[in-house]
Amino acid sequence: MALSTLVATFLCTIVLPILLFLVAVKLWEVYMIRGRDPTCRSPLPPGSMGLPFIGETLQLILQRRKFLRMKRQKYGCIYRTHLFGNPTVRVMGADNVRQILLGEHKLVAVQWPASVRTILGSDTLSNVHGTQHKNKKKAIMRAFSRDALEHYIPVIQEEVRSAVKEWLESDSCVLVYPEMKRLMFRIAMRILLGFDPDQIKTDEHELVEAFEEMIKNLFSLPIDVPFSGLYRGLKARNFIHSKIEENIKKKILDSDQEKKHRDALQQLMDSSRKNGEPFSMQAIKESATELLFGGHETTASTATSLVMFLGLNPDVVRKLRQELKEKGVDLQGQSLNIEVLEQLKYTGCVIKETLRINPPVPGGFRVALKTFELNGYQIPKGWNVIYSICDTHDVADVFPNKEEFQPERFMAKPSENSSRFSYIPFGGGSRMCVGKEFAKVLLKIFLVELTLQSDWTLLNGPPTMKTGPTVYPVDNLPTKFSHYSRN
């Protein structure tokens, strides 16, 4: 009798819940697959939908690259999953990504996860469509024109030189990734939003911390309850908005503003007035926050990767210095300008190779406007589509020895058979990154100042890289800097 009671207890407390859980997972999978369009004969992509309701979101958040690598190895270049509350198809490979990026407004439309839309806001460039997107993009592009970039160069040089000087004077090791975020944040605040240097010094620590918190919770479950990721992200966002609002009000009251250079924030304010739109403080704050995110988080990631790759490849540093010497670039009075920067071809290739291996943004989000076919599979209407930048670079046949850091590969002209969608660190199509040229100028100046002033050693060797939401080293890249000796 005791044995039968024990068996019954075991079945009820352990076996039955497991069976019910497995049945629930299977029913969830069947329910999700029923979302396929019966009018389309093509099958859904292979894959799995994960746990009921939360899908595979937690696995992605916790494992990131490991999860994505496992999925690619198991299912190939197109597979289905369930992320951030929506059935999703993940896509990689030049031909597949080409169809997605060129299908904007016809097959797909941009749609970031609900948490991203909630935190960044609905009026940001990445979330608006049609005429509104066109007008915002046009306004921001004026802030990244050739003339505007020329105006930014002295500010970038000043900030980079100051940062490198601090690193050289440091007796202990420098944690490169946090330092890069501070540096790029100051540059973005000054150039994109027009903050005064003294104002940045006053608010820098609190603002950087708030941005850290906001970005950390950007991709989270869309549940706004106390202590949830979304709740913390919104709280940090609101603090950032309060500081940006102070600066906007200052700009409105500044009677001499017409005589000054127009930063990106001012361009957005001017554009709103020219288009006869009612002034919306919330819309401007959201756009400014997006500019700060795009203008400093991605460049901080890439600058950190540059320090890492160059620290691991001293021969590349020697070639960089040789190019600077040949072009007459030095620290004794050489004023950088757009023309000089454009002549630094090898320097540009170092940046391109860094972006190939470690693109700061891993991909982009879209939603299917209608059911369509992609490489033999159906993408149902209403499903999310994620195109992968990092995986597309990994599977591209045009990059032999893809594990090796070889900037020279970009010195040659691309072959006629290579697709321009094999290399997409800035995305593509009508949604290509508007700050692409700004990023290139900033990173070239960074490399010039870094290599002419310093030598450095990575104290932990090659780091493990993680994504959240941009690529970064888990150990923050501890590095020892020393003065570069030209002898």
pTM exceeds 0.85, yes or no: yes
Q: What percentage of the chain has pLDDT greater than the value 90?
A: 45
454-458 and 465-467 beta bridge pairing: unpaired
Q: What is the mean pLDDT of residues 299-323?
A: 96
- pLDDT at residue 33 is higher than 80: no
Alpha helices in 171-313 (DSSP H): 176-191, 197-216, 229-253, 264-274, 281-292, 298-312
Q: Closest Cα partner for 121 from 207, 251, 214?
A: 214
Q: Which long-range contacts (CB under 8 A, 24 or more apart) does 108-112 make?
A: 108/366, 108/367, 108/368, 108/369, 108/385, 109/366, 109/367, 109/369, 110/364, 110/365, 110/366, 110/367, 110/431, 111/365, 111/366, 111/367, 111/384, 112/365
Res. 192: pLDDT tops 90: no
Residue 91 pairs with which residues in a beta bridge? 78, 387
Report the pLDDT averaged over residues 125-131.
79
Quote the pLDDT of residue 8.
63
Could you read off the pLDDT of 235-291 as tens digits, one per residue?
Answer: 999 999 998 888 888 877 775 555 556 677 777 777 767 766 667 788 888 888 888
Once rounded to an integer, what is the mean pLDDT over residues 325-329? 89
Q: pLDDT class for 20, splitting at 50, 70, 90?
A: low
Look at residue 320 and tell me whether its pLDDT is greater than 90. Answer: yes
Higher pLDDT: 207 or 258? It is 207
Please tell me whether residue 479 adopts helix, strand or coil conformation. strand
DSSP for residue 197:
H
- Which whole-number Å values give the CA distances from 197 to 160, 339, 366, 376, 425, in the listed order? 14, 27, 38, 55, 31
Q: Kindly write down the DSSP assignment for every residue of 334-361, as one continuous string.
A: PPP-HHHHHH-HHHHHHHHHHHHHS-SS
Tell me the mean pLDDT in the region 134-147.
83
Mean per-residue pLDDT for 387-398? 92
